Amino acid sequence: MTKQMSRELTRQQYLDLYYYMRLNRAVEDTMVKLFRQNKIVGGLYSSLGQEAISVGTAYTLQKKDWIAPMIRNIGALLVKGVPPRDIFMQHMAKYDSPTKGKDGTSHFGDLDNLHIVSPISMLGDLIPVMTGVAIGGRYLGQKVVAMTWIGDGGSSTGVFHEGLNFAATQKAPFVLILENNLWAYSTPVRRQVPLENLADRAKAYGIESYIVDGNNVVAVYTTAIEAVERARAGEGPILIEAKTFRRLGHAQHDPAEYVPKEMRAYWEARDPIALYEKFLTREKLLDAAGKKEIDEKLDVLLTAEREFAENSPMPPAEFAQGGVYCTGDDCHKIRAKWERSIGEVTPPKSSVKPVWTVPGFGSGRGSGGADAPIHFGDTPAVMEKPANNSRPAKVAAKPVAKGAKKARAAAASASRKARR
């Protein structure tokens, strides 16, 4: 299912999406300058051309919902409320950064206020983690949705499939955004996966999926809001494949010379911000004066945020030994936030039986009922329950009909002749 642009948002929501995409790009442009000045000490990964995905999906979430961004999801951090200075200082390893200079990339979160889980470098591992967050929120009665992102290459990892299967069996309120940007480092997607649409991978786990133009921010938003609402309503996890393109290399060190020039030119002409500006102008939602106002707002904000970051001190040398182990006051003080009575889920007063009834559980093909035994092929010999610690007695299998014996013998004879 592919979503097209629609007028389902308010004027302010349309402009919010534009502002956050512009902010996303401006933050990354600023970091490129800092990187070239040797002020960024870690790796720098760009989301140029993919801003509509991070912004459009994160904008659908409520304050209480949880996200776990990847390295190209700075837009999601900004929408959630992370100030640009934190992103700058994090990459500059400054003392005032969220990790106090202990990390030079995007590995930071905010569990208490913004509900952000730190990225995990092992691709795919955030899927089972966020499934657990989603299940935990449901158990506490919070009615939250958890969201994370993965790339086309990351969708080929084992934990991607394990995590989706876990989310599916638990019907977790979880939304996974699969950013198909056509390249896993230097490997094109068609050399990774024999599928036209990566959304088809959701079918293996019995979950719903959508396909959306990842360079159309309104289409991304309208698709994601539907998925989030369905997940929150208890319909289980949903996967969204957003088709887009990674316009820069894997990181700043990668010139991406492996990308065909024709492919790059095609996608550069489909820049999500430029397309959205045309849409807003055509729909009379943005004019020259409004654009100038946003330009000035971004310039003032980023100038102040960059100056703050550059003036932040580097961490003192003696600070290196702190925060390595979780001891005493250094530990996270995380407590369950119940939104319903604990007694509701605490035996023996629980109003919910501690039994999960699965329709058809234990039944075989065409067998009668949930308690019927599973039989594959001929009826096997079964073991009786041992009595008085004695050896279990073997029960003979049911006799096989003569016709079946003859058929088997003929098949075996044919197989021997074929081998000769």
Rg (CA), the chain: 27
Pairwise CA distance, residues 105 & 99, whole Å: 10
Give me the residue spans of the domains in the chain.
Answer: 11-330
What are the DSSP calls for 285-311, one per residue?
S--HHHHHHHHHHHHHHHHHHHHHHHH
Q: How far apart are CA 223 and CA 214, in angstroms?
A: 11
**Architecture of the CATH domain 11-330:** 3-Layer(aba) Sandwich (3.40)
* pTM for this model (two decimals): 0.79
CA dist 166 → 156, 159, 358 (Å) = 16, 10, 15
- Roughly how many angstroms between the first and final C-alpha of the chain, as a whole number? 53
SS (H, E, C) 70-129: CCCCHHHHHHHCCCHHHHHHHHHCCCCCCCCCCCCCCCCCECCCCCECCCCCCCCCHHHH
CA distances from 11 to 39, 51, 181, 217, 298 (A): 39, 20, 29, 14, 19
Report the distance separating Cα 185 and Cα 323, nearest Å.
Answer: 33
Token pair of 245, please? 């393109």
Query: Omega before 380 cis (within 30°)?
Result: no
**Apex CA 285: angle with CA 46 and CA 242, to 5°?**
35
Confidence at residue 184, expressed as pLDDT on a 0 to 100 scale? 85
Write out the chain's pLDDT in tens, 420 residues.
444 444 479 999 999 999 999 999 999 999 999 999 999 988 888 888 999 999 999 999 999 999 999 988 999 999 999 999 999 999 999 999 988 888 878 888 998 899 999 988 889 899 999 999 999 999 998 999 999 999 998 898 999 999 999 999 999 999 999 999 888 888 888 888 888 899 999 999 999 999 999 999 999 999 999 999 999 999 999 999 999 988 877 888 878 788 889 988 998 999 999 999 999 999 999 999 999 999 999 999 999 999 999 999 999 988 887 777 776 665 667 778 888 888 777 766 656 565 556 666 555 544 444 444 444 333 333 433 434 444 433 434 444 455 555 655 665 666 555 555
pLDDT at residue 353 in the model: 61
Q: What is the 3-state secondary structure (H, E, C) of 195-253?
A: CCCHHHHHHHHCCEEEEEECCCHHHHHHHHHHHHHHHHCCCCCEEEEEECCCCCCCCCC
